[in-house]
Structure 1
């Protein structure tokens, strides 16, 4: 059967389905690759000292979490733009409007930008990572997640604290003793 014999609406639905399946497949593939890399890091970390191994795993988990989140958003946004393009929406105009909106939000969302930039420095300077026992501006507990914008700390009473990265001024990390 020729593609010309398939109704236009069915062709459109098939193209959109292919885009969605490709996006989901890419996301799953990236997740598998990340999982295998973490497995290799765990295996390699067992060869070093216990403290260095724990630190490597903690930092790797933090970077993996941020990479995972970034990849998910990039795939989702790309998929949405491709589907809208298939539906006949002028994506050039959409991207231009999004750029202008982004600039306006950039001016209005300076604290968000501050949080994200601080989050990047926290990760790459290895100030703390997932699993570390820390004191962040008076909140003491174990790091559960480090994102680009927010760090999550669970205290001894079980309360989960969300700290904006741009607001963290003092970091005490008990897990980095003797570093």
Structure 2
């Protein structure tokens, strides 16, 4: 880029030289700035000065000033490009953070977007901020690194040993900090794939709880007992997310083995249907409840399974409410709840 600019400027100065007074007197920049090809700065000095001063300038000032001007122009262009890239990235990430789904999309994908609008907005904003920060850092490193190497080349520094040293140092740092690099890469892919976000209830094996913050290096989550867990992203081999798309409440109800199975199934179905049609709960139950039937024969108990498809993360709330209603319905119908006997 700098070579192209220098060539264009040199052509412009050369084209103007025949019209200037010193050229008409038989002089030339090539003679005044000898030895070597005249620089742009030396040509300009020759065109506004005389041969004696031009020779002095060529001997003592041309090299340092030309180098300084080239470095300043290179850094100015690099800063301009970096600012433009940062503005574009910021604009895109802000649009991501502030974007909203149309009502048609929301209705078509109802199960996928249940939850507090404020929580969804917070999750989207944090994901956009993190990705924006990563992209801005990458742009800064690439652009300013290229500019720095260009400036070193202009100064005349031999870049081969510098690059060799940087490679060795980079390998040493990368080997020593491989866990940190692993955490960052895992966090980056996790954000890009939107595996989980703020407000999701996840199980990472070593911990289980609600996500409070997600960074490139670590995930912070709080379990049901209030304990805060900091899990490095590189240590998360697999993650179970109970808050994406939809959930399922699976309730196994043990009753005395002498009870009428069809009667118990009818009570369970009616109770679950009443819960699903309740105005306070119909937003959380996404489909009609289903009684799957006898799940297990355990000693003196019949275990009958009831299943409800729920909004994500609401399985526990629906299960607790259904248990209470089943207890009331069983008491009214005289159905005895049994304790399953473990096999010998």
TM-score (norm 2): 0.40
1:9 Cα deviation after fit: 1.2
Q: Is the 8 A contact 1:142 1:154 kept in 2?
A: yes
Give the one of 181, 202, 212 matched to 1:142.
Answer: 212
The equivalent of 2:133 in structure 1 is: 65
**What stretches of structure 1 of length at least 5 have no aligned partner?**
156-160
CA distance in 2, matches of 1:59, 1:17: 37
Cα distance, 1:73–1:154 mapped onto 2, change above 3 Å? farther
1:107 Cα deviation after fit: 3.1
CA distance in 1, matches of 2:176, 2:90: 37
CA distance in 2, matches of 1:35, 1:109: 29
Q: CA RMSD in A?
A: 3.7
Runs of 4+ in 1 over 4 A off after TM superposition: 50-53, 55-58, 134-141, 152-155, 168-177
1:29 Cα deviation after fit: 0.4
1:9-31: CA deviations, max 9, x gaps? 11111111111111111111012
CA distance in 2, matches of 1:162, 1:14: 50
Q: Is the 8 A contact 1:23 1:75 kept in 2?
A: yes
**What stretches of structure 2 of length at least 5 have no aligned partner?**
1-12, 14-39, 46-60, 107-112, 223-228, 247-311, 313-344
**Greater RCO structure (CA 8 Å; 6+ sep):** 1
Cα distance, 1:42–1:140 mapped onto 2, change above 3 Å? closer
CA distance in 1, matches of 2:132, 2:99: 16
1:78 Cα deviation after fit: 1.9
Q: How many residues align?
A: 170
CA distance in 2, matches of 1:67, 1:119: 14
The structure in which a higher percent of residues are helix is 1
The equivalent of 1:77 in structure 2 is: 145
Give secondary structure in 2 for the equivalent of 1:20: helix
The structure with the larger Rg is 2
